[in-house]
Structure 1
Amino acid sequence: MSTELPESAVAPAEAPPTAPSRRTFIATSTVVGGAVVTGGLVAGTSPFGAEEAAAAEAPPTSAVSLTVNGRRHTVTVDNRTSLLDLLREHLGLTGSKKGCNAGACGACSVLVDGRRVNSCLTLTVRLDGAEVTTIEGLARGDELHPLQQAFIDQDAFQCGYCTPGQIMSGVACIQEGHTGSSEEIREWMSGNICRCGCYVKIVRAVEQASGRK
């Protein structure tokens, strides 16, 4: 007599467990890990007190006193504040333009103690006691500075964005005595970029204001 069981009575073999896919593993690990970290942050306590934490987050500041266009200002600023941002954002003097903000175009040129600087690269905290002159400080009431008038006479601008920096640099160029020739003017004005290409007329304006024409 046969001892074989009918096919229907044989117990089916158990299927091997399916290994989780890589995507499932990563998703599960991320959820669990995030929950642990979040729980630790919520349940844990800061090693610093509230005052110490606030002090750590606040940027260092300094009080600076300087004269801008003949008017004395005392301000407290973030130590990272540039002179350009002080002029535009704190004092409302928007004549100085933010072009490249990297000292490459000259649109932000101003005078500090009579010397031209790129205000975007000059830190305000280093100017305590300094005298700053911007494009707004050149005219005397309704009387334009000779170089401002020369820019009008020579039609030395188009869009006008670079013009304040060009004029401030030109004033310094004249004061420094670098107006012996048109070539010398171009050399000493080379740090100011005019994307409209008005260089010939700008040189003529500087020559006019310096008395060469």
Structure 2
Amino acid sequence: MSKPTSQKAKVHCIVNGEPAILWAYPMERLLDVLRDQLQLTGTKEGCGEGECGACSVFINGQIVNSCLVPMAQVEGASIKTIEGVADADQLHAVQQAFIEYGGAQCGICTPGMVLAAVDLLERNPNPSETDIRTGLAGNLCRCTGYMKIFESVVHACGKQIDA
């Protein structure tokens, strides 16, 4: 990381439902602040270029790649990370399905895949298999051919997979 030319600034936001005051350089990546300042290490860095989806978070309800978001853009924003998806002591249905059906593999892509699936189900509670594939399209997995991930999302939707 090159030496910043500006001063750190105070950034007010909401992270996983809790008010947060962060100190960051205006062009510092949200990904780095989440991981380094807040210790929210569930959000992963895969490519650092916005191509893989591993760093996905919600900002004001929209899924974004946090490696592309400078801190100057999150003042007053509501941010939800993978750590904020579960409801108290109960995993989100997508998280539970990833565990039960083997969608969580090496773990690098899992947070982004889960958030993409959560986003899809919030917009479309009864997606078709094509909708699921489209909803996951911005996320890359380096482990497999995506079948376990796809099956996990299908099961989270309450659908059965034709064998």
Matches of 1:58 and 1:113, distance apart in 2: 29
Q: Describe the shift of the 1:70–1:198 C-alpha distance in structure 2 as closer, same or farther (beyond 3 A).
A: farther
Task: Give the TM-score taking structure 2 as reference length.
Answer: 0.88
- Which residues of 2 match residues 63-82 of structure 1 at below 5 A? 63-82=10-29
Matches of 1:83 and 1:149, distance apart in 2: 27
Deviation at 1:155, TM superposition (A): 0.9
Partner of 1:166: 113
CA contact (8 A) 2:125 2:157 kept: no
Partner of 2:89: 142
Deviation at 1:160, TM superposition (A): 1.6
What secondary structure does 1:64 align onto? strand
Deviation at 1:132, TM superposition (A): 0.8
What secondary structure does 1:76 align onto? strand
- Verify: 1:133 aligned to 2:80, yes or no: yes
Once the two structures are superposed, what CA deviation does each residue of 1:109-131 show, in whole Å capped at 9, x if it has no partner?
11111111000001121111111
Matches of 2:45 and 2:95, distance apart in 1: 20
Larger Rg: 1
Deviation at 1:178, TM superposition (A): 7.7
- Verify: 1:92 aligned to 2:44, yes or no: no
**Structure 1 counterpart of 2:134, which letter?**
E
CA contact (8 A) 1:135 1:164 kept: yes
Task: Give the TM-score taking structure 1 as reference length.
Answer: 0.69
More helix, by proportion: 1
- Which residues of 2 match residues 1-213 of structure 1 at below 5 A? 58-177=5-124, 180-213=127-160
Q: Describe the shift of the 1:180–1:160 C-alpha distance in structure 2 as closer, same or farther (beyond 3 A).
A: same
- Structure 1 unaligned blocks of 5 or more: 1-56
Superposition RMSD in Å: 1.7
Once the two structures are superposed, what CA deviation does each residue of 1:74-127 show, in whole Å capped at 9, x if it has no partner?
122101111101101111111100110000111001111111100000112111
Moved over 3 A (4+): none
**Structure 1 counterpart of 2:63, which letter?**
R
- Structure 2 unaligned blocks of 5 or more: none
**Structure 2 counterpart of 1:85, which letter?**
D
What secondary structure does 1:95 align onto? coil
Matches of 2:28 and 2:53, distance apart in 1: 18
The higher relative CO (CA closer than 8 Å, separation ≥ 6) is in 2
Deviation at 1:198, TM superposition (A): 4.8
What secondary structure does 2:24 align onto? strand
